[in-house]
């Protein structure tokens, strides 16, 4: 079946502009995660959804970052007034439930470049 998909695959934007990144999880997966990975760095947790609610938003680096999930499926990560330090690969993952015992399946990521 189809895996996790993300769009766009690449996004180049100017400093100060807003961007929206989209994630389509595997069908039926209730848990959805957003991570950020800067060049040569590890995975930085941003936010986690169980259904449409977000039990853990602790990783969002500033109030410029927000995310929502509708219909228990598609999620959008929005970055307002982008800064150069926001440049990174943004990865989305989904898993069948929120228990943490299930494997997370990653999408291909969106590479964001802020000029």
Q: Which residues bind another protein (CB under 8 A)?
A: 33, 35, 41-43, 45, 48, 50, 55-56, 91, 98-101, 103-109
| Length of the chain measured in residues | 115
Q: Is 105 helix (H, G, I), strand (E, B) or coil?
A: strand
Q: How far is the CB of 106 from another protein (least distance, A)?
A: 4
16 vs 28, beta carbon nearer another protein: 28
* 13 vs 108 by CB, closer to another protein: 108
Spatial neighbors of 61 by CB under 8 A, at least 6 apart, are 36, 46
Q: How far is the CB of 89 from another protein (least distance, A)?
A: 9
From residue 67, alpha-carbon distances to 41, 96, 102, 103 in Å are: 22, 20, 23, 22
Q: What is the spatial distance between Cα 74 and Cα 84, in angstroms, rounded to a whole number?
A: 27
Query: Which CB, 22 or 80, lies closer to another protein?
Result: 22
Shortest CB 40 distance to another protein, Å: 9
Two structure tokens written together for 15: 């400093």
Please tell me the number of Cα atoms within 13 Å of 103 on its side-chain side.
4
Q: Give whichever of 35 and 65 is closer to another protein, judged by the CB atom.
A: 35
């Amino acid at each position: 079946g189809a895996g996790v998909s993300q769009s766009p695959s690449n996004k180049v934007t100017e400093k100060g502009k807003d961007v929206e990144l989209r994630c389509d999880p595997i069908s039926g997966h209730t848990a959805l995660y957003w991570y950020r990975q800067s060049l040569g760095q590890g995975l930085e947790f941003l936010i986690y959804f169980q259904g449409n609610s977000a039990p853990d938003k602790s990783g969002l680096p500033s109030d410029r970052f927000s995310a929502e999930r509708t219909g228990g499926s598609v999620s959008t990560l929005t970055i307002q007034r982008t800064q150069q330090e926001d440049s990174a690969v943004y990865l989305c993952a989904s898993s069948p439930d929120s228990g943490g015992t299930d494997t997370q399946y990653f999408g291909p990521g969106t590479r964001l470049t802020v000029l």
